[in-house]
Structure formats: C-alpha cells, structure tokens
Structure 1
Amino acid sequence: MTLTELRYIVAVARERHFGRAAEACFVSQPTLSVAIKKLEEELDVKIFERGSSEVSMTPLGEAIVRQAQSVIEQAQGIREIAKRGKDPLAGPLRLGIIYTIGPYLLPELVKNAIEQTPQMPLMLQENFTVKLLDMLRTGEIDCAIMAEPFPDTGLALAPLYDEPFMVAMPASHPLAGRSHISSQELKQETMLLLGTGHCFRDHVLEVCPEFARFSSDTEGIKKSFEGSSLETIKHMVASGMGITVVPGLSVPATPQPHLVHVPFEAPVPMRRVVLAWRRSFTRYEAIAALRNAIYACALPGVVRLSA
C-alpha cells in the first residue's frame, strides 16, 4: 500500500469517475485503474462499484476512503513540520476570533500580517468563545483572540489589551450631551443586548445586572431586546429603539449623526482581550509575529498590555 494508491482512491471517490480522477492525478486512466485494482486485491475488499456512468463506493469503501484521506493529511503534516523547521513562520496560521472583536481588529491586523509576514497567511475563523475553545482543543485552529474570563482549559495566554466599554445612545437622547455616565443611570433605559452565546452579552450584564431579569415575554416597554451583531444593535439604537453598551474598538473615529457614544464614570468597566493557544503548539515565532502584527494596529482607546 502506498500514498500514491491512497491518493488515487480519494480522487475517484471525489470525482465519481475514473477518467476525471486520472486527469486530476496527472496519470493515465489505465495506470490509475491498475493501481486501485492492486490495492483492492491487497486488502481483499471491493472499494468501488463500477457503474456504466458513475462510480460509487461500497459501504466498506467509504470507511477506507475516509481513513485514506486522514493518512494523506497526516503525511502532509510531516512536510509542514519539516518546512517549519527551516522557517517557523512558513505556512498558514489558523486564527480564531470572537464576533465582537473580529470586525474592528481584523481589517488592520490582516493588512499588518501580510506586510510583516507574507509567508504566514492567516486562516480566519470567527465564532463564539465556547466554539473557539473547542476548536483549539481539537486542533482545528492554532490560536484565538478572545476576551476573559473563560473556562480554564490549560491554554497558554498572552494579554493583548484592556478595552473600556462605552454607552451608545441616539443623538436625541437626554443623556447624549453628558461627558460621562454611570451604570446606575441606565436602569430606567431600554437596553438592547446581544443574543445568548456572545460573551460580550455577559460582560454587559455584569455592568448592568438589573437587565438580566428581563426576558422576551416581559410586559411593558422596559425589556431587553436581543440582536445578532453589535452593528445591527447600533442601527437599532440610532433609530431610537433604546441604548446599548459597546466595546471601545467598535466606536468609529468619525462621529455619526444619529448615534452618540458616552464614556462610563470611573471605575470604567472593561474587558481584557488575550491571545490563547495550546501549550503543545510549537510555533512560538508565529505567535510572537501575530502579537507584533496586533500591536502594530492603531487600537484607539485601549490600554495595551505586555506579557
């Protein structure tokens, strides 16, 4: 059994046709057919059912093809390890990031990464904290940018910055002219929140715990509304449907005509943003390069941190 034979059966499974699979593998159809026949004889199983118009896999063949794909990926991993030994920055870095950070950090971060480490493209995955932690555990991503706190999973952590919260409200709101505002003053307001699953929702409820009691079946106008993204909620706020709390990086540099952002009074609530990775991840230079690319971003209004 060889890797070449495994690549052939994966190609046939993908193309459902011996001729197209041979073209994809840059070999003649007889060469591919003979190799697959040899493998079937070696394993003493039938991997494919040959039809007049299309090739299908036998039930046992499906399991064999799945394992073949895994073996091919592992073999490719060996090449990647060897490549990284020559240049630790060579090869993509799989980065996860939570929804309430991605839109405001990624555009400049990706630009910086391309300029500083073009040999290390970022493969991005935007998701909830819980999902990113699971993806880190299973090796689907290499590292993630998240906000503390989250469950202790034995990850290595590097603090990036502390990000203050601000109150977003319609420009016509009575409190819009204030230089600062306290969380107590928000008790009588209609609060718009992110939906369940967003860690920033939990952060806001820590600042304004009285809104935790509101649910979708609450009577009257003083209830919490849930949105799928911060930008959706901001548009709702601008239209006069309520107020919300936002992270500092989401505040645009240019004032908006229908939306005002007011800082909190001291002590200002904030969240700590960190970079997390598996302790078994050996590309330390890649992590350092990513941190440098993050610190090269403007990061207006945040407090930069170092390890």
Structure 2
Amino acid sequence: MTITQLQYVLAVAEYQNFTLAAQKSFVTQPTLSMQVQKLEDELDVLIFDRGKKPIAITEVGKKIVAQAKNIVAEAGRIKDIVDQDKGFIGGDFTLGIIPTVMPTLLPMFLPTFIKKYPKVNLIIKEQGTNSLIKNLQDGHLDAAIAATPLEIEFIRERPLYYEPFVGYVPANHRLADQKEITGTDLDISDILLLQDGHCFRDGVVNLCKSPKNGDKEQFKIESGSFETLVNLSDEGMGMTLLPYLNTLELDEKKRKNLKHFKKPSPAREISLIYHKSELKIQISEALKDVISAVVRGAIAFQDVEIISPLSK
C-alpha cells in the first residue's frame, strides 16, 4: 500500500470516473486503474463497484476512503514539519475567496504578500461559501477567506477583520434626511439585494427584522454586483447596503449618499478559514498577519455588532 495508491483512490471516489480521475491526477488512465486494482487485490476487497455508472463506492470502500483522507493529510504534514523547522515559507498555496470580498480585499493585500513572501506560489480562486467549504473538505483548497461564523466541525476560523455595513440611500428615499440609520429603520421590501447564495445578502436579511410595507412590493431585483445595486439605487429603485470597503471605491458624488449606522454598527466578520488538519499552517499564518495589518489601517471602526451570515 502506498500514498500514491491512496491518492488515486480518493480521486476516483471524488470524480466517480477512472478517466477523469486520471486526468486530474496527471497520469494515464491505465496507470491509475492498475494501481487501484493492485490495492484492492492487496486488501482482498472491492473499493469501487465498476458495474454502476457513475462508479459507486462499496460499503467497505467508504470506510477505506475516509481513512485514506486522514492518511494522505498526515503524510502531507511531514513536509510541513520540515518546512516549519527550516523556517521556510514557500510552495503552492491555493486560496479561495468569496465574491463579496475578493474585489476589495485582494488589491489591498496581494502586492504586499507576494513581495514579502516571493517563494509562495499563491493560487487564488473566487468561489461561493458552499464551494469553499466542500473544497476545503476535499483538499482542493489550502485555506479560504469567508464571512463567519460558519460553525462547521472540521473548519478552523481565524478572524481577520470586522467590516461594518453602510447604507447607500439616494436623495429621493424616505431615509435620505437622516444623518444615521438603525436596523429598525430598514425595510426589506425597499432594499436592493445581492442574488441568493451570497452570504452578505443573508446578513442583510438577518439585519432586517421584517417588512414594514406588507404586501406593497411592486418589483424584486437581485444582482450579483454591488455596482449594479448602487446604479439601480441612483435610479430611484430603492436603497441598498454595502460592505464598508466597497464604499471606498465610490466617487465623491456617490459618497454623499452613504449613511452610517448608529453604533454599534452592524458588521460582518471576515475570517481566514482552513481545515483543522492545519496543513501548510506557516503560510496560513503569514496570510493572516499580512491581511490583518493591511486592513487595520483601512477600517478604524471598533464598536460593531456582528451580523451572522447564517440564516436565523
């Protein structure tokens, strides 16, 4: 039994197809199939039921796959131990970032990080929270940046910063004359929202306790970008809420429409998350230090109330 054989088993279990598993493992299909068959012969069990399409995992195979994940992860830890002992911070590192954070945060920390740690090959992928969680579990991501708390057993959360919500209220809106706003001022029926699936949307919905206008809603607009929501708001379609860092990109005219919340300001917690196996932990710590230092200068708010991305 070898680590390579276990890696091939995990690939087949994930993709449920020998050809695709071989492509993802960068080997030929006959080579992968032979090694999996060799492991099955050694154990004298069938890990996969090849008679089904897609390929199914047998009951004993499920137990073997679960244990293989642990073994492969622990084998990877050996290199981490050596790297940490040598003080080496380098190698490939795949980082996932949620869409509502990536456009603002990435330009802030990336130049500093790559300059400080030139030996790290940072591979960045924009993904929704559910995809981040699955890819962390499957080992396709080394770490991710997401809104927390997530309260997932196998994930460790390390808060990076707390980002306040800011209202974007056009001149013709009922809240336009207020200097500050509160959660009780908000009416979900006249707030432009991100598309379903965005954790920032969930936070906004949780902040708005209930609609004030009953069934008087005339239209419903959901968008995938804050820029679109701001433009629609300018056209008199309602107000919207923005993460604080997104407000820094607005021009002077649009910034006049911003309304801050009375303290404590509602805010989202943004964290670096990774598997509790803590592989490549030295790079994760380096990322956390750089991001925290860079963002600390941009967000001075301290009196905040965290709005969970989890649905109430």
* Residue 79 (structure 2) aligns with: 81
- 1:141-156 mapped onto 2 (5 Å cutoff): 141-156=141-156
Q: What are structure 2's unaligned runs of at least 5 residues?
A: 1-26, 37-71, 304-312
Correspondences of 1:1-307 after superposition (within 5 Å): 63-64=29-30, 81=79, 84=83, 86=86, 88-187=88-187, 190-211=190-211, 220-221=217-218, 223-252=219-248, 255-258=251-254, 260-297=257-294, 298-303=297-302
Structure 1 gap ranges (5+)? 1-60
Structure 1 pair 160/210, CA: closer, same or farther in 2 (3 Å)?
A: same
CA shift, 1:230, in A, is 1.9
Q: 1:89 to 1:67 in 2, by over 3 A?
A: farther
Alignment partners' CA distance in 2, 1:126 and 1:159: 19
> Identical aligned pairs, as a percentage?
29
SS in 1 for 2:181: coil
Once residues 69 and 209 of structure 1 are traced to their aligned partners in structure 2, the CA distance between those partners, rounded to angstroms, is 57
Offset, 1:144: 0.7
Q: CA RMSD in A?
A: 3.4
Greater C-alpha radius of gyration: 1
- Residues 187 and 213 in structure 2, CA contact (< 8 A), matched pair in contact too: no
Per-residue displacement from partner, 1:229-249 (whole Å, max 9, x unpaired)? 222212222232211111111
Kept in 2: contact 1:163–1:303 (CA 8 A): no
Range with greater deviation from structure 2 (193-202 or 280-289): 280-289
Aligned in 2, Cα 1:279/1:64: closer, same or farther, shift over 3 Å? Answer: same
Take 1:133 and 1:276, find their aligned partners in 2: how far apart are those partners?
9
Whether the 8 Å contact between 1:146 and 1:274 is mirrored in structure 2 is yes
Deviation, structure 1 residue 131:
0.8
Please say if residues 89 and 117 of structure 1, whose CA atoms lie closer than 8 Å, have aligned partners that are also in contact: yes
Stretch moving more, 151-160 or 108-117: 151-160
C-alpha distance in structure 2 between counterparts of 1:134 and 1:162, whole Å? 24
Residue aligning to 1:56 = none
Contact 1:113 1:121 survives alignment (8 Å): no
Alpha-carbon distance in structure 1 between the residues aligned to 2:155 and 2:34? 31
> What is the one-letter code of the residue matched to 2:223?
G
User: 1:163, 1:301 within 8 Å by CA — same for their partners in 2?
Assistant: no
2-side partners of 1:212 and 1:276: how far apart? Answer: 37
Cα deviation digits, residues 139-193 of structure 1 (max 9, x gap): 1110011111324132222111111111112245453343201222222862111
Mean Cα displacement is larger for which, 123-132 or 260-269? 260-269
What residue identity is the alignment partner of 1:233?
Answer: L
How many residue pairs are counted as aligned between the two chains? 236
Compared CA separation, residues 81 and 302, structure 1 to 2 (3 A): farther
State how far apart, in whole Å, the 1-side matches of 2:197 and 2:213 are.
17
In structure 2, relative to structure 1, the CA distance for the partners of 1:264 and 1:184 (3 Å cut) is same
- The change in CA–CA distance for 1:177 and 1:289 in structure 2 (over 3 A counts) is same
Contact 2:188/2:208 (CA < 8 Å) preserved in 1?
no
Deviation at 1:69, TM superposition (A): 11
TM-score (norm 1): 0.66
Q: CA contact under 8 A between 1:249 and 1:302: conserved in structure 2?
A: no
Q: CA deviation at 1:257?
A: 1.6
Change in 2 beyond 3 A, CA 1:159/1:199: same
